[in-house]
């Protein structure tokens, strides 16, 4: 970074962005030798190619299990194999997705990697389509401790639907670089 830019203090190990005179500087924080970088981008959830494995009636609506594909662009560039358990509450016009997913791609220009998340949650207002969620991509617990990888913690906001019926969204968050180079 140029000495002309102000020093940037990282709070809680989270990196930030500063814009000055049309230039954006990325603030990178380090925590115990590990680097945290801000990440953002957009994506598309391909409902039109989803495979529905099961649907079961429940007291408030329906429980559905499926396999879906999600394309991420931006700082995360790759695909998610998304296996949600979708709980539809028709009485309250709500949908909650939980389950497991695998990301395959790059993060902030990194080498390709595969990350796992079994703690995500998405909440959808079925009346308005408003969608919010959180994603926590981590290395699989049984992965060998070799090389470098990221942990990514993302907030996701739905932005609408394509004419074909697929969902669009944006994501923001941070990635913590881990491991050895």
In the chain, what percentage of residues exceed pLDDT 90? 68
Q: What is the pLDDT of residues 66-100, one digit of tens each?
A: 999 999 999 999 999 999 999 999 999 999 999 99
Does the pLDDT at position 4 exceed 90?
no
pTM of the prediction?
A: 0.78
- Average pLDDT over every residue of 157-171: 96
- The structure tokens listed for 158 are 């739905």
pLDDT of residue 111: 86
* Residues in Cβ contact with 79 at an 8 Å cutoff, skipping those fewer than 6 apart: 69, 70, 71, 72, 103, 104, 105
Q: Over 66-128, what HEC string results? A: EEEEEEEEECEEEEEEEEEEEEEECCCCEEEEEEEEEEEEEECCCCCEEEEECCCEEEEECCC
Which DSSP category does 10 fall into?
Answer: -
Q: Using CA atoms, how far apart are residues 36 and 27, in angstroms rounded to an integer?
A: 9
Among the listed residues 156, 179, 161, 132, the one whose alpha carbon sits nearest the alpha carbon of residue 39:
156
- Average pLDDT over every residue of 33-54: 92
* Residues in Cβ contact with 23 at an 8 Å cutoff, skipping those fewer than 6 apart: none
Angstrom CA distances, 114 to 35, 102, 107, 117, stand at 19, 7, 10, 10
Chain-centroid distance, C-alpha 15: 17
Does the pLDDT at position 5 exceed 90?
no
Q: Which residue has the tokens 């050895």?
A: 180
């Amino acid at each position: 970074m140029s000495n002309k830019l102000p020093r940037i203090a990282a709070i809680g190990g989270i990196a930030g962005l500063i814009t000055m005179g049309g230039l954006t500087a990325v603030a990178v924080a380090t925590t115990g030798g590990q680097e945290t970088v801000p990440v953002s981008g957009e994506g598309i959830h391909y409902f039109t190619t989803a495979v529905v494995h099961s649907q079961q009636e429940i007291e408030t609506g329906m429980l559905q299990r499926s396999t879906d594909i999600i394309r991420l662009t931006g700082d995360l560039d790759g695909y998610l194999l998304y296996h949600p358990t979708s709980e539809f509450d028709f009485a309250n016009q709500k949908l909650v997705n939980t389950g497991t997913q695998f990301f395959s791609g790059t993060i902030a220009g990194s080498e390709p990697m595969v990350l796992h998340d079994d703690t995500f949650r998405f909440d959808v207002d079925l009346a308005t389509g408003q969608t919010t969620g959180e994603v926590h991509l981590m290395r699989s617990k049984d992965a060998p401790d070799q090389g470098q990888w990221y942990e990514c913690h993302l907030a996701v906001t739905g932005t609408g639907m394509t004419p074909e019926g697929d969902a669009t969204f944006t994501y923001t968050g941070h990635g913590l670089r881990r491991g050895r180079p």
